[in-house]
Amino acid sequence: MNIALIAHDKKKDDLIKFINQYIGIFETHSLFATGTTGQRIMDETSLNVTRFKSGPLGGDQEIGAKVANKDIDCIIFFRDPLTAQPHEPDVSALLRLSDVYDVPLATNEGTASAVMLHLAEIKSKNN
């Protein structure tokens, strides 16, 4: 599966911690991320990540284009609901595209954990 990983600045540490929790699952999938988030993931884990631009510079839109082209199967986006984001219209467009193309989107750790458990279940059924 192609998994997109995105995190607002105040959520990047939480995303890295989450990825390390489920590293065995993540390492079996192709990972894509916005610029800074992707670099942090590569610096702090053993994972390879295809990086796009930073979110405010168009990275969310680049991932949205991959969603529209059916090149992304799942999005994990640790959003910061308490801080205004300068690129909120881009974020809203990405959320809309995930609904339009029926791409699972986890915007918090609880939902992301459920997605990871589902991916682990799929993996065990295929082995």
In order of their start, the domains of the chain are: 2-126 (3.40.50.1380)
Reported as a single tens digit per residue, the pLDDT across 45-58 is 999 999 999 988 88
- Residue 54 marked as a ligand binder: yes
pLDDT in tens, 90-123: 888 999 999 999 999 999 999 999 999 988 887 7
Q: Give the dihedral of Cα atoms 29, 79, 65, 30; nearest 10 deg.
A: -10
- Which of 60, 73, 99, 102 is flagged as catalytic? 60
3-state SS class at 103: coil
Q: Is the pLDDT of residue 85 over 80?
A: no
Does 55 count as an annotated binding residue?
yes
Q: Is 90 a catalytic residue?
A: no
Q: Report pTM.
A: 0.93
Q: Is 28 annotated as ligand-binding?
A: no
pLDDT beyond 70 at 38: yes
Minimum mean pLDDT range among 29-33, 44-48, 123-127: 123-127
Kindly report the backbone phi and psi dihedral angles of residue 81, in degrees, each rounded to the nearest multiple of 5, phi listed first.
Answer: -75, -10
* Under 8 Å between Cβ of 41 and 5: yes
Please tell me whether residue 87 adopts helix, strand or coil conformation: coil
